[in-house]
A = this chain, B = another copy of it.
Amino acid sequence: MSDDLKVAVLGVGKMGAFHVESLSRRTRGTRVTVVSDADTARATEVAASVGARTESDPFAAIAADDVDAVVLASPGAAHEAQVLACLERGLPVLCEKPLTTESSTAYDVVKRETALGRRLVQVGFMRRFDHEYAALRELIGSGGVGAPLMLHCTHRNPAVPDFFDSEFMIRDSVVHEADTARFLLGEEIAAVSVVKGAPTSSAPTGTTDPMLVLFEAESGALVTIEIFVRTGIAYEVRTEVVGERGSAMIGLDQNLVTKLPGGRWGGQSSPDFVARFGQAYDTQMQCWADAARAGGVDGPGTWDGYAAAAICEAGVAAVQTGGRIEVGMGGRP
């Protein structure tokens, strides 16, 4: 289809392969033309499934004639150089979080894009496209619960690999809550604390799982986050906002309710993030593609990626020191 957006997908692990599927089967007006992955066999397999070609060098993919836009699902350490290459060529990018692995380099990306004078980078904070989060933000934004005073977030995974240590829990999981808090509260986070309690017995030595993470927003609103990634139960993401004139909660996860032998009533929690947020990922992709075909992006951008990086950096320091760490953010260019 001649006027489809021709997309290169860099990195086709679980997330990247999901994006390839979305771009090829569920998103209107897009086509995957190039796939690149350090694992060339994997790249070849994924590319073949959708009629794309492979490029072993991601920068060659970014530079290719048959590429209008780029989806970055490569390892975080590769993001900085790849995003900058896309900016240089003026290509719209959907960059999985993190934008870059350090806040200083993320800030560089913000400045580079600002200098370009147009937005080209969207960061993959897909929860903003989830119906429930969108409704909660609209409720807060419309004053429906008054000024927000507290936000209680629960983020639970059934299981993770052993390399998910306390720092990784901040960088990979709490990063979503960092963006959620900013998105819902509409303000920046000023400080982060981490309170470590007793770890679950299946956590590797030295890993405190669960942890309690606290954000203090600029207005003084408090955000509590229970981060627990080895519950053995399900993928559970719940958020409650407590405002001056009401409270609201999402993530109750109640669709099909059964009553079964033994007298137990209830339902099934989402087994994983695709089951919980699959719709949000696809909606994100369609929104990005529609904007990219028009030459830009309008979802969460480099500033949001930078802010999340700065918050997580403070969070990691809080994990290490056990204290309260202020989030040091530069001014918006």
Q: Interface of A with B (CB < 8 Å)?
A: 1-4, 25-29, 131-132, 135-136, 139, 144-145, 147, 149-150, 152, 158, 193, 195, 197-202, 210, 212, 214, 216, 219-222, 224, 226, 228, 231-234, 236, 242, 244-250, 252-271, 279, 286
- State whether B212 touches A197 (Cβ < 8 A): no
Query: Which listed residue (B25, B158, B221) contacts A198, Cβ 8 A?
Result: B221
Smallest CB gap from A27: residue in B? B28
A-B contact pairs, 30 of them (CB 8 A): A26-B28, A28-B28, A132-B255, A136-B256, A139-B258, A144-B258, A145-B258, A147-B200, A147-B201, A149-B197, A149-B210, A149-B228, A195-B214, A197-B221, A197-B222, A198-B222, A212-B214, A226-B242, A231-B246, A232-B246, A233-B247, A233-B260, A233-B263, A234-B265, A248-B256, A248-B259, A252-B257, A253-B265, A264-B266, A265-B268
Given contacts A197-B220, A201-B147, contact A269 B259 (CB under 8 A): yes
Report the 5 A-B pairs with minimum CB-CB distance, sorted nearest first. A266-B266, A198-B220, A1-B1, A234-B263, A197-B222
A250–chain B nearest beta-carbon distance, Å: 5
Chain B residue numbers with a CB within 8 Å of A132 are 255-256
A147–chain B nearest beta-carbon distance, Å: 7
- State whether A250 touches B256 (Cβ < 8 A): yes
- State whether B245 touches A216 (Cβ < 8 A): no
- State whether B248 touches A257 (Cβ < 8 A): yes
Which residue among A214, A216, A249, A264 has the maximum number of chain B CB atoms within 10 Å of its CB?
Answer: A264
- State whether A198 touches B247 (Cβ < 8 A): no
A317–chain B nearest beta-carbon distance, Å: 18
Smallest CB gap from A212: residue in B? B222
- State whether B158 touches A263 (Cβ < 8 A): yes
A185–chain B nearest beta-carbon distance, Å: 11
Chain B residue numbers with a CB within 8 Å of A244 are 200-202, 232
Chain B residue numbers with a CB within 8 Å of A268 are 263-265
Chain B residue numbers with a CB within 8 Å of A25 are 28
Docked Cα-Cα span, A248 to B228, in Å, equals: 15
Docked Cα-Cα span, A27 to B26, in Å, equals: 8
Query: Which listed residue (B28, B149, B200) contacts A149, Cβ 8 A?
Result: B200
Chain B residue numbers with a CB within 8 Å of A158 are 263
- State whether B256 touches A135 (Cβ < 8 A): yes
- State whether B249 touches A257 (Cβ < 8 A): yes
Chain B residue numbers with a CB within 8 Å of A267 are 264-266
Docked Cα-Cα span, A252 to B259, in Å, equals: 11
Docked Cα-Cα span, A96 to B131, in Å, equals: 27
A247–chain B nearest beta-carbon distance, Å: 5
Given contacts A26-B286, A250-B256, contact A245 B232 (CB under 8 A): yes
Docked Cα-Cα span, A232 to B261, in Å, equals: 6
- State whether A265 touches B263 (Cβ < 8 A): no
Chain B residue numbers with a CB within 8 Å of A233 are 246-247, 259-263
